[in-house]
Amino acid sequence: MSAFTTPQSATSTPESDPALVDAYRRGNERAAAELIERHIAALGRFLYSSGADRDEVDDLVQEAFFRAFRRLATWRGEASFRSWLFTIGGNLLRDQVRSRKGRRVLSLNDRDIPSASDPEADLAAGEAAERVRYGLTQLTRLQREVFLLRAQEGSEYGDIAVALGTTPGAARVHYHHAVKRLKELVR
Amino acid sequence: MSDCGWLSDRMPTVALGRAQWTEEEARHLSDCPSCRGEWELVQLSSHLGQGVAAELDPGSTTRAVFQRLERARQEDRLRRQSWTFAALAMAAAMAAVVWTGRPITRPVAPLAGPVVAASLLIPLPELDNLDPAELNTVLQTIDEPLLGGQTDSPGSGALDDDDLEGVLNIWEG
């Protein structure tokens, strides 16, 4: 449950992202804390799925939020706050990969294996997930981000298009190319 | 839209638990290898990174982000103050130029008069041995006009009108 409420919304539904952003712009830091709490997990998953090392995710998440709040004036609400945040995170990850001269190394220790009662099923699921993650790193940035925004967020093509600076039709094409390529890579 | 296209669009929503397959969709999924392959990908991707996400601590991230934002604000303030001081200094310099009516120039070194005078001093050791009365006599002799002020050239006042006119004609050609 949200810790952030205003007198008007104390008994109503949680504040929307644009309302929280407005509140933060007016100087309410608790609104920023609520935005972080709301989006941190999704941003972490997005960065990890995009190829960030497990031990880099925390720093990347922090940097993405820092930059987002510094540049909040540039968010006009056309794309969702989360999509915009993912774009900032994607830029950070791209810069990091460039600084490592394009090397994207996925360590076996990076595996994100969910805890369950069946170790064999765990292992199989972990290996399959790792193949998908490796496949995602082989896609173009647009293909990867469109695919992840669809698969992890369920975002509509219109929202994805605004966030990534493309058209809904092009976003759909990128998604289908991503699926086709992933099928080949994961097979 | 084809069944495959329809199913593809519905996959993220179902994978995220926001909807369920209808019987017809489930039947298509089991009969279509292409859709099944896509469905497996979407399912795996939709849960990818959940363990990593669970390790993130919103509280510590919030504190770290706020600290950095505060530090950045302080740096911004300092930068603005530096620019303000620079602008004020520039304005003061401009005001000084306008006030004096001319650009500030470097002070010119005084002319080397005493140095020139000193360089014209001619040592005359003979004069040093004279007593004041003799020295006074010598100085008076130096100051007197040569030949009692008489020269070979007559003054213009000594010429009559004809002579004066002749001289003028010579000078003016």
Task: Specify the pLDDT at position A172.
Answer: 95
B41, B55, B72 member nearest A182 (Cβ): B41
- As a whole number, mean pLDDT of residues A57-69 equals 96
> Is the pLDDT reported for residue A106 higher than 60?
no
Model-wide pTM > 0.90: no
| Cβ–Cβ contact A32 with B under 8 A | yes
The kind and range of the H/E element at B113 are: helix B113-120
**How high does pLDDT run on average in chain B?**
80
> Is the pLDDT reported for residue B149 higher than 60?
no
> Is the pLDDT reported for residue B103 higher than 90?
no
What CATH number has the domain bearing residue A137? 1.10.10.10
- As a whole number, mean pLDDT of residues B104-116 equals 57
If one counts the domains in chain B, the total is: 2
Task: Specify the pLDDT at position B64.
Answer: 95
Chain A window 137-156: which residues touch B at a Cβ cutoff of 8 Å? 147-148, 150-154
Are the Cβ atoms of B48 and A129 closer than 8 angstroms? Answer: yes
CB A27: neighbour CB atoms within 10 A? 7
What CATH number has the domain bearing residue A66? 1.10.1740.10
B8, B16, B52 member nearest A154 (Cβ): B16
Whether residue A96 sits in one domain with residue A19 = yes
B161 falls in which pLDDT band (50, 70, 90)? confident
The kind and range of the H/E element at B149 are: none
Whether residue A97 sits in one domain with residue A130 = no
Q: Report yes or no on A65 lying in a domain.
A: yes
Q: Please say which residue of A105, A127, A151 terminates a domain.
A: A105
Q: Report yes or no on B17 lying in a domain.
A: yes
Tens digit of each residue's pLDDT (9 = 90 or more) over A7-50: 444 445 678 999 999 999 888 989 999 999 999 999 999 999 99
Chain A window 162-181: which residues touch B at a Cβ cutoff of 8 Å? 176, 179
If one counts the domains in chain A, the total is: 2
Q: Report yes or no on B19 lying in a domain.
A: yes
Whether residue A100 sits in one domain with residue A15 = yes
| Cβ–Cβ contact A114 with B under 8 A | yes
Whether residue A153 sits in one domain with residue A84 = no
Q: Report yes or no on B31 lying in a domain.
A: yes
Whether residue A101 sits in one domain with residue A137 = no
Task: Specify the pLDDT at position A76.
Answer: 83
Whether residue A82 sits in one domain with residue A124 = no
Contacts of A42 in chain B (CB under 8 A): 53
Whether residue A120 sits in one domain with residue A89 = no
Task: Specify the pLDDT at position A9.
Answer: 43
Contacts of B38 in chain A (CB under 8 A): 179, 183
Whether residue B41 sits in one domain with residue B9 = yes
Structure tokens at B47: 């849960």
Task: Specify the pLDDT at position A119.
Answer: 62
Structure tokens at B12: 């993220």
Q: Report yes or no on B72 lying in a domain.
A: yes
Q: Report yes or no on B18 lying in a domain.
A: yes
- As a whole number, mean pLDDT of residues B92-121 equals 66
**How high does pLDDT run on average in chain A?**
84
| Cβ–Cβ contact B19 with A under 8 A | no
Task: Burial-class residue B95 by CB neighbours within 10 Å (0-12, 13-18, 19+).
Answer: exposed
* Of B54 and B157, the one with more pLDDT: B54
Contacts of A154 in chain B (CB under 8 A): 12-13, 16, 18
Whether residue A97 sits in one domain with residue A155 = no
- The CA distance from A112 to the nearest CA of chain B, in Å, is 6
A42, A112, A176 member nearest B51 (Cβ): A112
Whether residue A143 sits in one domain with residue A74 = no
Whether residue A161 sits in one domain with residue A97 = no
Q: Quick check: ipTM above 0.90?
A: no
- As a whole number, mean pLDDT of residues A176-185 equals 94
Contacts of B52 in chain A (CB under 8 A): 44-45, 48, 54, 57, 112
* Of B160 and A20, the one with more pLDDT: A20
Are the Cβ atoms of A48 and B52 closer than 8 angstroms? Answer: yes
> Which domain does A128 fall in, by range?
116-187
Whether residue B66 sits in one domain with residue B43 = no
Q: Please say which residue of A105, A137, A153 terminates a domain.
A: A105
Q: Please say which residue of A70, A105, A140 terminates a domain.
A: A105
Closest chain B residue to A179, measured at CA: B38
CB A5 within 8 A of CB A15: yes
> Which domain does B36 fall in, by range?
3-48
- The CA distance from A76 to the nearest CA of chain B, in Å, is 21
Residue B108, helix vs strand vs coil: coil
Q: Report yes or no on B154 lying in a domain.
A: no
| Cβ–Cβ contact A36 with B under 8 A | yes
Task: Specify the pLDDT at position B117.
Answer: 53
Whether residue B19 sits in one domain with residue B43 = yes
Whether residue A89 sits in one domain with residue A18 = yes
Q: Report yes or no on A3 lying in a domain.
A: no
Tens digit of each residue's pLDDT (9 = 90 or more) over B13-43: 999 999 999 999 999 999 999 999 999 999 9
CB A96: neighbour CB atoms within 10 A? 18
Task: Specify the pLDDT at position B65.
Answer: 95
> Is the pLDDT reported for residue B112 higher than 60?
no
Residue A12, helix vs strand vs coil: coil
